[in-house]
């Protein structure tokens, strides 16, 4: 209904007096709605509450529906791309290579950096980078089947897991590359996204990085234990959004 009216999420959220992230969660079915909010939405969109409650998908009062959305949404995307082990492997090793100098970078920080890399790339280029999916675990995004993938890389002697100490003498587990990444598999745009994330976030502490990511819309809008939909990257706001959109 909102799209049919050509109303942006920001405008509707202001009219019904809630935040845009809250509206995003309502539209994604991840947040309940009370009767007062429903009444304000019905009033703003020009429909009765009865029509809102009885509406079927794609069934509208208006015969001609013109969806007005960001130009990026006009192209059909498939957020669940087929997993490519070689692409993941070389992306992962490239990340390890370029963070090897940080003695405090444990596996959890590494997974958080992977999340930012993947979702920044998807928001910018509308396709996945390493083809890996993320699941929300303990309120944080975790790469799907990551321990199995790490074991595969260890078994083929591409990486090694070692126990070491941080700069504050805290025991941690770290992954170290035993071979160089194949840069022919990585695009210049992919390396740039990875390098940007390393420059900005690789020095952050585990707690600071976790606190930051937990407030990112893709993580906020996903229920515990579910796959995080890459399309949620397009609902990000500052300071998370990395792409400029034309209304």
Which CATH number does the domain housing residue 59 bear? 1.10.260.40
What is the pLDDT at residue 96?
A: 97
Q: Looking at the structure, do residues 194 and 219 belong to the same domain, yes or no?
A: yes
Q: Looking at the structure, do residues 108 and 40 belong to the same domain, yes or no?
A: no
pLDDT digits (tens, 9 = 90+) for 20-57: 888 888 888 888 887 778 878 887 887 766 666 665 54
What gap in Å lies between CA 5 and CA 99, rounded to an integer?
A: 48
Find how far residue 61's CA is from the centre of its chain.
35
- pTM, rounded to two decimals: 0.69
Q: Looking at the structure, do residues 144 and 39 belong to the same domain, yes or no?
A: no
Q: Looking at the structure, do residues 220 and 101 belong to the same domain, yes or no?
A: yes
| Mean pLDDT over each residue of the chain, to the nearest integer | 85
Q: Looking at the structure, do residues 64 and 132 belong to the same domain, yes or no?
A: no
**Polymer length in residues for the chain:** 247
What gap in Å lies between CA 131 and CA 134, rounded to an integer?
A: 10
65 pLDDT higher than 50? no
What is the pLDDT at residue 70?
A: 40
Evaluate the omega torsion of the peptide bond into residue 239 and state whether it is cis, within 30 degrees of 0: yes
- Of 69, 98, 114, the residue that ends a domain is 69
Q: Looking at the structure, do residues 151 and 55 belong to the same domain, yes or no?
A: no
Q: Looking at the structure, do residues 101 and 194 belong to the same domain, yes or no?
A: yes
Q: For the chain, what is the domain count?
A: 2
154 pLDDT higher than 60? yes
pLDDT digits (tens, 9 = 90+) for 187-218: 999 999 999 999 999 999 999 999 999 999 99
Residue 198 sits in which domain range? Answer: 85-235
Q: Looking at the structure, do residues 121 and 229 belong to the same domain, yes or no?
A: yes
Structural domain includes residue 245: no
What gap in Å lies between CA 99 and CA 186, rounded to an integer?
A: 17
Structural domain includes residue 229: yes
What Cα–Cα distance (Å) separates residue 240 from each residue in 110, 139, 203? 18, 17, 17
59 pLDDT higher than 80? no
What gap in Å lies between CA 223 and CA 161, rounded to an integer?
A: 31
Q: Looking at the structure, do residues 191 and 142 belong to the same domain, yes or no?
A: yes
- Of 26, 43, 69, the residue that ends a domain is 69
What is the pLDDT at residue 182?
A: 94
């Amino acid at each position: 209904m909102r799209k049919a009216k050509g109303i942006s999420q920001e405008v509707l959220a202001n009219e019904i007096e809630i935040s845009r992230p809250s509206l995003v969660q309502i539209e994604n079915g991840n947040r309940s709605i009370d009767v007062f909010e429903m009444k304000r939405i019905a009033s703003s969109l020009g429909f009765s509450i009865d029509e809102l409650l009885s509406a079927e998908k794609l069934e509208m009062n208006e015969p001609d529906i013109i969806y007005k959305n960001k130009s990026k949404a006009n192209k059909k995307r498939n957020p669940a791309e087929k997993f490519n082990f070689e692409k993941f492997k070389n992306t992962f090793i490239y990340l390890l290579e370029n963070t090897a100098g940080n003695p405090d970078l444990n596996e959890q920080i590494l997974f958080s950096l992977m999340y930012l890399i993947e979702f920044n790339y998807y928001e910018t280029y509308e396709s996945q980078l390493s083809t890996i999916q993320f699941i929300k675990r303990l309120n944080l995004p975790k790469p799907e089947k990551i321990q199995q993938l790490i074991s595969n890389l260890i078994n083929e002697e591409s990486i090694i897991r070692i126990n070491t100490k941080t700069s504050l003498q805290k025991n941690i587990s770290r992954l170290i590359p035993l071979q160089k990444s194949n840069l022919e598999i990585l695009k210049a745009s992919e390396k740039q996204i990875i390098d940007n994330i390393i420059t900005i976030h690789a020095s952050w502490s585990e707690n600071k990085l976790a606190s930051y990511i937990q407030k990112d819309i893709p993580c906020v809008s996903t229920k515990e234990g579910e796959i995080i939909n890459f399309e949620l990257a397009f609902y990000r706001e500052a300071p998370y959004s990395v792409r400029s959109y034309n209304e």
